[in-house]
Chains A and B, each alone.
Chain A
Amino acid sequence: MALLQTPPTSTRTSSEEKRDARRRESTRSGGRRIGSHIFLLILVVYFLTPLWWLIVASTKDTAGLFTGSGGALWFDSEFHLFSNIAELFERQDGIYWRWLGNSFLYAFAGGIGATVLAVLAGYGFAKYRFRGRSAFFSLLLGAVMVPLTALVIPTFVLMSNIGLVNTMWAVILPSLLSPFGVYLMRVSTQDAVPDELLDAARVDGAGELRTFFQVALPLLRPAIVTVLLVSIVATWNNFFLPLAVLSDPNLLPVTVGLNNWQALSNAGAGGEQMWNLVTTGAFVSILPLVVSFLALQKYWQGGLSLGALK
């Protein structure tokens, strides 16, 4: 039987606090605690070093990146963050900001769309017994194990047959597919929405849609937030699909655009070297997601474990 982890709660229950107290008691030996903290500090340094480097690098111009006075991991004597950002607005008429906007558009359209489909389908699988249900669900579970990159090339050919290649739909439509999201929503619905409650609503005369929107949906909120977050991140991070189906520079998401700039800087001579734009562009592009994750931690911390079965 698949069980869900505790849904994320903003208020800590008293039993949780008791647990924590017990945990604290149970870590008696001070030596081990110091050892554990040193281990954690090493991990934190390892995981933050690249990000620290990126912050520092985004304040340098190209010359500073090569021969900065403070080395690679410290600031240069000159501070170029704002001039770099200004240059992002100038280069190719500010195409960078277009890429960033495209990334937002694709991530939100793909992520929200995938979540809506997953919530509906998960509810349908969990609460109705329609013809073909188990066959479809088995197929879906098999699909979880199909590597999505294997679909990129046939999707490209199919899309080019119907003229969708090199349009934003070529990125958004395939992003709507999230078999794992449906699986998560089905498990969550089984766990969080009791049948008795739905039956009670029906007895009171609520139709199927109304039962879904007013009774089931509020109970599914934690799971929906999780699936939404995971789908948005997946689309935001996507690289192979847009790389294959988009060639118009104006349609690229920021991941592909920056990669092109980096390749160009590596290959090109003086005028095409824009290392400072690559670093500053990378820095600006990761800010929205990193900041949202830090700000929304109480929503995802419990939720991301939804897929984990006990």
Chain B
Amino acid sequence: MAILTAPAETPVPAGRPTKRRPVKRKTGIDVMDRRRQRWGWLFVGPFALVFVGFLIVPLIYAFWMSLQTSTLAAGTQFTWFGNYARAFTDPIFLEGLGRVGRFAIVMIPAQIIVATLAALVLDNLTTALSKFSRLMIFVPYAVPGVIGALMWGFLYSPRFGPATDLFALFGAAAPSFLDQDSIFGSLVNIVTWQWAGYYMIIIYAALRGIDTSIYEAARLDGANGRQIALRVKLPMISSSMVMVLIFSLIGTLQFFTEPQVLRAVAQGAIPVSYTPNMYAYSLAFSYSQFNYASAISFALGIVVFIGSYLFLFLTRKQNGLK
């Protein structure tokens, strides 16, 4: 958890007289100071209410619901971890989990490579075209995921899309983007289009934060542009890269919007249980199996949490923060 805990471990700076003068008896100032620190709760309080109401309580409630099973015959019964045993032997859930795992392996590198290449190229240029490109690559961030998926659905469609015409120019038949074999790649493309620009901006800003005199030192040592990019620039922004990776990992594992929207145009290729989140959604809202759906949601949450924690642990050296 190196990056995220970093500020918590930062020694608290000034403004705490007790810290500055460690040996101190209880004086009037000290009492006043302690009273002042209570203001902290007043500032944090409103958020704490929302945090408890919409995170802690739903989490605990989801866990509690997931320990029960509701049937028409027997009513609601406490079945302990029965739902989890069912989930982790449920081929549909496991298949969905494996699928988002495969998406993570393909989609995260795709987004990060496009974003990093674009950021590295933009960092070297100050032309008008480079400024324009930076904006245009970022624009999809302002487009909701639903609309992005809708647009790509039209573009993929053999009825509306340009593919048929474009491929006809070369006398070839257009590939089908929406059948079972190609839907995976089509979804990777949508997500890359949607998010690469946002990650590019974060990486680009981190690159701009590097002191350029380091590049000159590297150049004097005989490094060429590519070596500078790979050996100097990227290592120096490794903690930004880790953050971007964590964001895309969490996003990918809870994949929902794009396949859900594309389902309408590619029904044969995307079943209702395509990803764990879609499975939980259909269990809850099509079959009213709220207990089992909660178990699926909670299990997915645990997988995501452990996955990102593990990732931060494995990259603790790259974070360079601990």
Contacts and interface: CB of A to CB of B under 8 A. Distances in A.
A243 B277 CA distance: 13
Given A141-B4, A177-B55, A289-B142, A33 B125 contact: yes
A209 to B, nearest CB: 8
Nearest to B152: A50
Interface in A161-178: 173-174, 176-177
Contacts of B261: 239, 259, 262
B270 to A, nearest CB: 13
- The listed residue with most A CB atoms (<10 A of its CB), out of B50, B57, B257, is B50
Contacts of A309: 3, 6, 239-240, 243, 321
A297 B57 CA distance: 38
A5 B142 contact: no
Secondary structure of the A contact surface, majority rule: helix
B150 A259 contact: yes
Given A5-B209, A72-B162, A278-B150, A155 B47 contact: no
A130 B62 contact: no
A294 B151 CA distance: 21
B269 interface: no
Nearest to A144: B4
B304 A124 contact: no
Contacts of B57: 158
B142 A138 contact: no
Given A1-B10, A309-B6, A259 B212 contact: no
- The listed residue with most A CB atoms (<10 A of its CB), out of B40, B55, B243, B253, is B40
B50 A177 contact: yes
Contact of B304 (A27, A130, A150): A150
Contacts of B62: 150-151, 153-154
B50 A237 contact: no
A157 B15 CA distance: 45
A67 to B, nearest CB: 10
B135 interface: yes
A20 B148 contact: no
B15 A150 contact: no
B15 A174 contact: no
A208 interface: yes
Given A36-B125, A130-B38, A44 B137 contact: yes
A118 to B, nearest CB: 7
Given A290-B142, A310-B209, A72 B165 contact: yes
B165 A237 contact: no
Contact of B126 (A20, A149, A152, A177): A20
Contacts of A57: 154, 160
Given A129-B12, A147-B301, A279-B154, A43 B59 contact: no
Interface string A18-45: 0110111011000011001101110110
A5 B153 CA distance: 38
B146 A255 contact: yes
Interface stretch (A77-85, A86-94, A194-202, A217-225): A194-202
Contacts of A259: 146, 150, 261, 264
B162 A150 contact: no
Contacts of A183: 4, 7
A118 B297 CA distance: 26
Nearest to A48: B136
B96 to A, nearest CB: 13
A23 B219 CA distance: 13
B222 to A, nearest CB: 15
Interface in B30-89: 36-44, 46-48, 50-51, 53-55, 57-59, 61-62, 65
Contact of A153 (B14, B114, B297): B297
B304 A145 contact: yes
Interface of A: 1-2, 5-6, 19-20, 22-24, 26-27, 32-33, 36-37, 39-41, 43-44, 46-51, 53-54, 57, 65-66, 71-73, 116-118, 120-121, 123-125, 127-130, 133-134, 136-138, 140-158, 173-174, 176-177, 179, 182-183, 186-187, 190, 195-196, 198-199, 208, 212, 233, 236-237, 239-240, 243-244, 255-256, 258-259, 262-263, 266-267, 275, 278-279, 282, 285-286, 289-290, 292-294, 297, 301-302, 304-305, 307-310
